[in-house]
Amino acid sequence: MNDIGAFPQFSPRRKASIQIIPLIDVVFFLLATFVLFTLSLNKLTSMPLNLPVAGDGEGAPPLVLQVTDAGIYWDKELITERELTPRLEAYAKNNKNPRIMLAGDDRASYGATASALDQVRKAGITQVSIETVWRGTGR
């Protein structure tokens, strides 16, 4: 009773193999999911910042105050710290848009610089820039 149709023909066994292409797809999917999830965890915080706008060219260049160990230079003129406050008040009163460029040399102390900046603030001048490049004394 050997019926040919009763039992299907079995082919010889094939060797098992691992397909790498689907594995790569799964790994890339997991990586993309992890990156997107990580980016969504970052809480972005910022602070409001008022950036300066370009002027119309009518303003005069800023007044340069350079703090050194010898005193303060008012546009290349050496003055004492006591002379600074009256000059700043007169400068603020006589100019429509008073601006200050605060500079220092390699011998300037922090205390004298902070004191000069405080006197600028007391004179009511709000536009103050601090120079960050090296400048020779009195220049």
Measured between alpha carbons, how far is 63 from 75 in angstroms, rounded to an integer?
Answer: 7
Length of the chain: 139
Q: Could you give the residue ranges of the DSSP H alpha helices within the chain? A: 20-41, 81-94, 110-122
The residue ranges of every structural domain in the chain are 63-130
Which single residue is written with the structure tokens 């040399």?
A: 105
DSSP structure class, residue 76: T
The 10s digit of each residue's pLDDT in 50-93 is 877 766 555 678 889 999 888 899 988 999 888 999 999 999 99
pLDDT the model gives residue 71 = 87
- For domain 63-130, is the CATH number 3.30.420.270? yes
pLDDT recorded at residue 45 = 77
11, pLDDT greater than 70: no
Record the tokens describing residue 89, joined without a space.
């008040």
Q: What is the pLDDT of residue 100?
A: 92
Residue 104 CB neighbour total at 10 angstroms = 23
Task: Tell me the pTM.
Answer: 0.55
What per-residue confidence (pLDDT) applies to 59? 64
Per the CB < 8 A criterion, the answer to whether 73 and 105 are in contact is no
Burial of 73 (0-12, 13-18, 19+ CB in 10 A): buried
User: Could you tell me the strand order of the sheet in which 72-74 lies?
Assistant: 77-79, 72-74, 63-67, 99-104, 127-130
